[in-house]
Structure 1
Amino acid sequence: MRRRGARDRSARTIAIFIVAAMLFAGGGALACGYHTPSDIARGTLNYIYPKALYVRTAVWQAQNSGLLPPRPARVVKDLFAYQRIADGLQQLGDALALPPAPRFGFTVILLDSMLWSRYAPGESGFDVDVHVKGSKKGDAVLVTQSEVILALNAGSLSFDVAEVQGLIRLYGPVDRQEAVRSVLRGLPVDARADPPQGAEGASG
């Protein structure tokens, strides 16, 4: 029995190592959900970024509490979903101001679609590369969902509230995480964007 348990642990360790290698080497196997099934990709992502999937629960709770717009009563096939969120990711990059040196890039992964995008410092702001294969070495990685990106763009949600409520999780080098926080705190927020009373986070 002990030998079997050791084999199981060894197999799991090897599997995690392979997934990590794919993810950090380009992550082509973890393709986005607009083009391939993404349930397995979400599970493997959760190994690399512990508790990343808590974001999905937090979004569900935020929709129930009114912090985010409610879920549609009926899911309808949206032929323009990819273009809409690609535009939203680009809009976010356009709204971000470049920090003083040292400049840095970061990566965003959307759990609802498993779409990776990278934000790299450009001449006057962040250049956005939508639909990349994964993060680059040393990047901070921001895990969230498309509903949160759209709310940040609309100014109906601040970054700090989003993070406290578990709608965003950051991973990677601590200094890079803080740099990303600093940049995202500069997004304009509507004065009426206070969270509803009783909204509780799911950061866990």
Structure 2
Amino acid sequence: MHRRRRTAIIVSALLVAAPLLAACSNEARPGAAAVVGGDRIEVSTVQASVKDVRSAQERAPESEQLIKGTGQLGRAKLYELIVAEVVERAAHDAGVSISRKEIQDGRAAFVQQAGGEEQLAAMYLQQRGVAPDQLNDVVRRDILVGKLATAIGAANTPEGQQKVNKSFTVAAKKLDINVNPRFGVWDSQKLELGDYKAPWITQVTKEQQPAETA
């Protein structure tokens, strides 16, 4: 059956290391890392997210390499929080929602593809700077992006990728995103925070068929 659509996230994010870069300049309210759709993302929220990742990295066998490779995590984690809101808005505008069962089933499929729960957690930590306790939220977003692509008829083509990116851009502009200068300048057209942009944003329409089992 061709019911399932997989985003490139499980391919690109697990096989291509995403650079986690530093910080640059915009305006947000005092104490906020960003304001998205009128809602604040607190600096303390970003700091807590960074702390979770650093703690997970320190426990990993290759801790020194992971920490060195992620540089300043603040911008990358704020980007992740902003994009989560952008995806939610784009999905809402397209009439797309996601159930708990879909999240559970999707995570189970990702676990199978990765070769186990520990392997999946390690891959997300290594390639995307995602701590184990952040994994469910990120998996949920990944699946939602796939459902959005299906809903708007975005095929596995460059044109399809542009179609999904356009839905993100429209959603981002509606949310009127403002970022604290310490984290950089948000660009709703390019979906970038400073010079940081996650690779999967431009690859969301690629499909991955479920692995066949013997």
**TM norm. shorter chain > 0.5:** no
Higher helix share: 2
Higher strand share: 1
Query: How high is the TM-score relative to the length of structure 1?
Result: 0.33
Query: How high is the TM-score relative to the length of structure 2?
Result: 0.32
